[in-house]
Amino acid sequence: MSPHQLTSHALLDLFKSRQITPAEAYADVVNRIKTIDPKVKAYVHMAQGEPDFNGAIPVPIAIKDNLCTKGEEITCASRILKGFRSPYDAGVIEKVKKSGGAILGIVNMDEFAFGSSCETSCYGPTFNPWDLKCVPGGSSGGSAAAVAADEAMWALGSDTGGSIRQPASFCGIVGLKPTYGRVSRYGLIAFASSLDQIGPLTKDVRDCALLMNIISGYDDRDSTSVNEPVPDYTKALVNDVRGLKIGIPKEAFVDGLDPEVRRAVEDALNLLKKLGAVIKEVSLPHTPYAVATYYIVATAEASSNLARFDGVRYGLRVQPKSVRKNALVDMYEETRSQGFGDEAKRRIMLGTYALSSGYYDAYYLRGQKVRTLIKNDLDEVFKDCDVIMTPTSPTVAFKVGEKLSDPLSMYLSDIYTIPANLAGIPAISVPCGFAKSGLPIGLQLMGKAFDEEMLLRVSYTYEQNTEWHLKKPNL
């Protein structure tokens, strides 16, 4: 096997036994990118300069285009940020560099993480390594595709409503959204500040635990990061689910759920049961409102977060030749009209409306109240369950272009992932099978706040007893 085909932990073993150097491994992955990426288009650009491999875990890594990395052009896949070179490292990038992490390059995403298909990027779409006619999911589609295509050992993504888990599911890899506050958001270009969380996309659960060890922890530059001790997540990798209670929300198995996905998740359920887990049917009565709530709260915050992209200080600036209103307003309007894509404009307008005087109570305030109800539902279930299991996405990867003109159906692909963001709890997606089309299926486990260890334990046990994670796409 070539180094790029390995998991990160397998590669680390080779480093330890001196069978390969980090620089050789890095070169191998770079070579893989050169060969494969013209088809997959996961990367928007390669990293500046050579990494120094100084650290305990000198593993090649891909970085989503919304994580500020010193000296790199970071654009959130938007024209409006073209030319913005970050003068600083995000908290997670500092941690990755300190661990020796070797940054390969910056990977594609939906513009400002607005989307579930990686198609709204100003760089054009990324393609699913399992079927190049299909989307890799989104918004961390570049991260997921790069890992699935062995163009990175692992990757960092961000998850606001499913943006790590859904592409992980579509690309047949592991993706974890940590508890809100577990990982510093400092340097993550905000989409919706109260929902965003950075997390790992990896080839298996052990790698997920390893990367969590690197990126977790309190950061005094992020007031929402939580000063809780970080456990060694690899200690949670125990092949044993005996006696653990797994909640199955009856609301999850709804119309619109692809029968193949349903069957795969049910098979996983039966396997875990056979391994000793206790399966319980539970109810999350407010989850049918989750998508609507999400699109109020997330767009409201986004409309404010994206206000800073005004052409004044960095990124794109367009000054129309003829004066329409006045030079300043003309510049704002033209810059933002040309700089943002359709989905970004749609969400800015939605969010601006939701916060407007006279509508605030009916939308934003009510949205926050429903959000509390959804969180209460989950808290209630977790009184008697260790994890909650659902599909990650109601369908497997869809065709490029299929849903781009139908935003509502696109929004619904986040139906299972959104509640964890609204409640701030951790959730993981692990591969649980393939559809007849050959496209991967993912299952989602949600856990209690700061109990990533339980998610890793159940996922690890499942993974140790299945072989889905070992399959590779033919490229």
Partner 1 sequence: MSTFETVIGLEVHLQLSTKTKIFCSCANQYGCAPNTNVCPVCLGLPGTLPVLNHQALLFGIKVGLALNAEINSFIKFDRKNYYYPDLPKGYQISQFDFPVAKHGFLLIKSSGQEKRIGITRAHLEEDAGKLVHDNSGSCSLADFNRTGTPLIEIVTEPDLRSPQEAYDYLNTLKLTLQYLGVSDCDMEKGSLRCDANVSIRPIGQTSLGTKTELKNMNSFRAVKTALEYEVRRHEQVIASGGKVVQETLLWDDEKAQTRTMRSKEQAHDYRYFPDPDLVPFTIDYKIIDGVRAELPELPQAKFLRFLSQYGLSEYDANILVADGGMADFFEAALKEYPQAKKIANWLGGPVLMELNNRKAPLAELKISPKELVALIDKVEQGVISNLVGKEVLTFMLDEGKSADEIIKAKGLAQVSDDSALLVIIDEVIAQNPAVVEQIKSGKPNAAGFLVGQAMKKSGGRANPKKLNELITRRITGV
Asked whether position 370 contacts partner 1 by CB under 8 A, the answer is: no
Asked whether position 424 contacts partner 1 by CB under 8 A, the answer is: no
| The one segment of 53-61, 135-143, 260-268, 297-305 that binds partner 1 by CB under 8 A | 297-305
Please identify, using beta-carbon distances, which residue of 248 and 355 lies nearer to partner 1: 355
Asked whether position 364 contacts partner 1 by CB under 8 A, the answer is: yes
Name the minimum Å distance from CB 323 to partner 1. 13
Asked whether position 466 contacts partner 1 by CB under 8 A, the answer is: no
What is the C-alpha to C-alpha distance for residues 456 and 167, in angstroms, rounded to an integer? 19
Asked whether position 374 contacts partner 1 by CB under 8 A, the answer is: no
Nearest to 109 by CA among 81, 148, 137: 137
Asked whether position 328 contacts partner 1 by CB under 8 A, the answer is: yes
Q: Contact with partner 1 (CB under 8 A): which of 81, 215, 454, 458?
A: 81
Q: 4 and 32 in contact (C-beta within 8 Å)?
A: yes
| The one segment of 86-94, 143-151, 248-256, 417-425 that binds partner 1 by CB under 8 A | 86-94
Q: Contact with partner 1 (CB under 8 A): which of 90, 148, 171, 252?
A: 90
Q: Contact with partner 1 (CB under 8 A): which of 82, 280, 308, 369?
A: 308
Total residues contacting partner 1 by CB under 8 A comes to: 45
Asked whether position 222 contacts partner 1 by CB under 8 A, the answer is: yes
Residue pointed to by tokens 């397998």: 10
Asked whether position 244 contacts partner 1 by CB under 8 A, the answer is: no
Q: Contact with partner 1 (CB under 8 A): which of 28, 204, 301, 451?
A: 301
Q: Is 43 helix (H, G, I), strand (E, B) or coil?
A: strand
Q: Contact with partner 1 (CB under 8 A): which of 307, 323, 349, 362?
A: 307
Largest CA distance in the chain: 72
Name the minimum Å distance from CB 230 to partner 1. 20
Q: Which residues are catalytic?
A: 64, 139, 163
Asked whether position 192 contacts partner 1 by CB under 8 A, the answer is: yes
Here the tokens at position 320 are: 């129309």
- What phi and psi, each to the nearest 5 degrees, are found at residue 285? -60, -25
Please identify, using beta-carbon distances, which residue of 274 and 308 lies nearer to partner 1: 308
Q: 190 and 453 in contact (C-beta within 8 Å)?
A: no
Nearest to 163 by CA among 131, 124, 120: 120
What is the C-alpha to C-alpha distance for residues 22 and 57, in angstroms, rounded to an integer? 9
Lay out the site mask for partner 1 across 428-457 (x = CB under 8 A, - = otherwise). ------------------------------
Asked whether position 82 contacts partner 1 by CB under 8 A, the answer is: no
Name the minimum Å distance from CB 61 to partner 1. 18
Name the minimum Å distance from CB 332 to partner 1. 6
Q: 475 and 149 in contact (C-beta within 8 Å)?
A: yes
Q: Contact with partner 1 (CB under 8 A): which of 34, 39, 82, 221?
A: 221
Q: Please report, for residues 51, 128, 311, the alpha-carbon distance to residue 438 in angstroms, rounded to integers and kept in the order given.
A: 36, 12, 45
| Number of Cα atoms under 13 Å in the Cβ half of residue 451 | 16
Lay out the site mask for partner 1 across 380-419 (x = CB under 8 A, - = otherwise). ----------------------------------------
Name the minimum Å distance from CB 213 to partner 1. 23
Q: Contact with partner 1 (CB under 8 A): which of 17, 322, 326, 357?
A: 357
Q: Is 390 helix (H, G, I), strand (E, B) or coil?
A: strand
Name the minimum Å distance from CB 116 to partner 1. 22
| The one segment of 6-14, 214-222, 238-246, 285-293 that binds partner 1 by CB under 8 A | 214-222
Side by side, the strands of the sheet bearing 387-391 are 43-46, 102-107, 60-64, 154-159, 197-202, 174-177, 427-434, 440-447, 387-391, 245-249, 278-282
Asked whether position 87 contacts partner 1 by CB under 8 A, the answer is: yes
Q: Which amino acid is at 111?
A: E
Asked whether position 193 contacts partner 1 by CB under 8 A, the answer is: yes
DSSP class of 472:
-
User: How remote is the C-alpha of 285 from its chain's centroid?
Assistant: 26
Q: 426 and 449 in contact (C-beta within 8 Å)?
A: yes
Asked whether position 323 contacts partner 1 by CB under 8 A, the answer is: no
10 Å CB burial of residue 409 (0-12, 13-18, 19+) is: middle
What is the C-alpha to C-alpha distance for residues 63 and 421, in angstroms, rounded to an integer? 21
Asked whether position 348 contacts partner 1 by CB under 8 A, the answer is: no
Q: 81 and 316 in contact (C-beta within 8 Å)?
A: yes
What is the C-alpha to C-alpha distance for residues 113 and 141, in angstroms, rounded to an integer? 10
The H or E element containing residue 199 is strand 197-202
Note the residues at the interface with partner 1 (CB under 8 A): 66-68, 74, 76, 81, 84, 86-88, 90, 185-190, 192-194, 220-224, 300-301, 303-304, 306-310, 312-314, 328, 332, 352, 355-357, 360, 364
